[in-house]
Amino acid sequence: MPPIPDITEVPAAELESLPAEAAISQHQVRGIFFGVLCSLGVFLGVVTLDGWLTRLPALNGTPARGERIGVLHVHTNLSCGSGSLPQVIGAARDADLSFLAITDHNLAMSQAAVNAADPPDFAVIDGEEVSTSTGHFLALGVSDTWSRGSSYDARTLLASARRAGSVNFIAHPFGLREHWHEWESPDYDGMEIWNDDAVWRQNGPLAMLTSLLLYPINSRLALVRLARTPTDNLAKWDQLQEQRHVAGICGSDAHAAITINNQTVARFPGYYSVFSLIRQHILLDADGDPNHASASDILSALKQGNAFCAVDALAPSDGFLQQVQSGSASGQPVGPGHSVVYTRGATLHVAVPAGSPPAMLRVLHDGQEIAKQQTQSIDLVLPGPGRYRAEAYLRQPGLTGFGRWTLWIFANPVQVTASASGSN
């Protein structure tokens, strides 16, 4: 048996230091705990104040002649959404919209169901979100008479939907689950540049937490905080357009539902909040009354790219201008989705609505930035033929946005061709 050490052999200094170290350690733990608690309290206080004090502008601006505003990519309770079609239309009208596109998963509505819910001054575009082997696409303008068949092949489904009269847009091509690969198909008309669901996932945990805490106090601000620039989508869009026309749209991907095991456990974020965030503006022929445009008129404007998208919750973008004025005296200015033959002295005019907060404007020529300026309008002489499109940015409002420049508007390009035959 080893000898039991005599306590008197331990130096007195060591005996004193043991309890003292333990006491300091406990003291430190308590300090850290109270520090974290205080920081959390300050954070909660700042977020609450931000939600109370930050007022976003009203949604209704002054639309240009022929401009009409709506939302695309909306789910109802036919698939994973929480609202019926009349409820969804009600929320859209509350948000000052006059059209929407219904896109339930692999299921379009019957024409009778759409007609029954379709008020006279509101256009419902019937459609569905089609699941394929390489992701989802939006088939707009089809009803339940279109049958997808048993194929999951993206190219086959795109062609089949198009034969049924659909206008096809690739949905969330760089989403979390799968990335779209079938870019070579000739049977899509455009792509989602913005998809709420995909954009929100670009945020880190702190931004997500801030937004979650803001939501009960100021739901619109909560969603504005999650707005990010979809840079991958914009880059892919520019690249695709080197080959052919590809229209850009924004999809709300509104569900108003959090589901667990296919059961809706919360109606979050609500349809109204989502419809108040990013909105699809279409530019119809100014001679007609845009309020009487049919779903198919709206669809053909989307297909042509006569459209722009805006995070209107930051500020109403109604009346935004992006026009090319030909160098010849007789030429009329042309806007997004239109083309014009290049003439010497042709100019591009980009302007945000009067009274907007200070904006940052960016102009791209064939995908390359040629101007970036903090201003409300830009006029520049075109360097030559090509595609011209503009983006506008605004600073985040309120305390917890830290003044971050946030994508506000992006428009489909104006095509400036070298000759009347359309070549660049």
Q: Residues interacting with Zn ion, by CB under 5 A?
A: 129, 136, 171, 253
If 0-12 CB within 10 Å is exposed, 13-18 middle and 19+ buried, where does residue 360 land? middle
Alpha-carbon distance of 365 to 379, in angstroms, equals 14
> Which residue lies nearer to Zn ion by CB, 50 or 253?
253
Residue tagged 């919209």 (tokens)? 97
Residue 220 C-beta: closest distance to Zn ion, Å: 21
> Which residue lies nearer to Zn ion by CB, 136 or 389?
136
In a 3-state reduction of DSSP, which class is residue 261?
Answer: coil
> Which residue lies nearer to Zn ion by CB, 99 or 169?
169
Residue 73 C-beta: closest distance to Zn ion, Å: 6
- The answer to whether the CB of 317 falls within 8 A of the CB of 409 is yes
| DSSP string for 126-164 | -EEEEEETTEEEEEES--TT----S---HHHHHHHHHHT
> Which residue lies nearer to Zn ion by CB, 132 or 241?
132
| Cβ-based neighbour number of residue 194 at 10 Å | 28
Pure H helices in 351-416: none
Q: How far, in whole angstroms, is CA 134 from its chain's centroid?
A: 21
Residue 301 C-beta: closest distance to Zn ion, Å: 22
CA-nearest of 213, 248, 250 to 52 is: 213
> Which residue lies nearer to Zn ion by CB, 196 or 238?
196
Residue 198 C-beta: closest distance to Zn ion, Å: 9
Residue 79 C-beta: closest distance to Zn ion, Å: 8
Residue 412 C-beta: closest distance to Zn ion, Å: 22
Residue 136 C-beta: closest distance to Zn ion, Å: 4
> Which residue lies nearer to Zn ion by CB, 88 or 414?
88
Residue whose beta carbon is closest to Zn ion:
136
Residue 200 C-beta: closest distance to Zn ion, Å: 13
Alpha-carbon distance of 155 to 372, in angstroms, equals 38
> Which residue lies nearer to Zn ion by CB, 129 or 182?
129
In DSSP terms, 284 is beta-bridged to none
Alpha-carbon distance of 95 to 271, in angstroms, equals 9
> Which residue lies nearer to Zn ion by CB, 136 or 162?
136
Which structure tokens are listed for 313? 């919750």
> Which residue lies nearer to Zn ion by CB, 138 or 247?
138
> Which residue lies nearer to Zn ion by CB, 185 or 417?
185
Residue 129 C-beta: closest distance to Zn ion, Å: 5
Residue 265 C-beta: closest distance to Zn ion, Å: 18
CA-nearest of 247, 298, 279 to 122 is: 298
In a 3-state reduction of DSSP, which class is residue 82?
Answer: coil
- The answer to whether the CB of 410 falls within 8 A of the CB of 352 is no
Helix then strand then coil, % of the chain, to nearest 5: 30, 30, 45
Residues whose CB is less than 8 angstroms from the CB of residue 320 and which lie 6 or more positions away in sequence, other chains included: 64, 281, 308, 310, 351, 352, 353, 392, 409, 411
- The answer to whether the CB of 53 falls within 8 A of the CB of 41 is no
